[in-house]
Structure 1
């Protein structure tokens, strides 16, 4: 009976620890490698028929970074 309880507690601790380690890894990975960069944003705007100015790209990037940091 004691072995089963220890096994269940070890499993629960392992799952919780694994979750937090994976979450931390993904957050640092996304900070280092953002999913959208300025070039990709510029190409998307051009495909939508907009003429992207550097000011508009900077505004959109800062808005996306602010949203991501929340």
Structure 2
């Protein structure tokens, strides 16, 4: 996943982000087959880039409640 230029990325806040300004995760859909993820409170900070199938599995697990304590 090296070499992705994120300067022109369009970001959207995850629907699972907290609505009161905390725990805000943003993702970009511009780079298939990769999914860049960042903290919306630190837009110039680090970005994690996941393979699309791995990100999809993670989102499904969150949606299904599999990652709860």
TM-score, scaled relative to structure 2: 0.32
Q: Which has the larger radius of gyration?
A: 1
Which is richer in strand? 2
Which is richer in helix? 1
TM-score, scaled relative to structure 1: 0.32
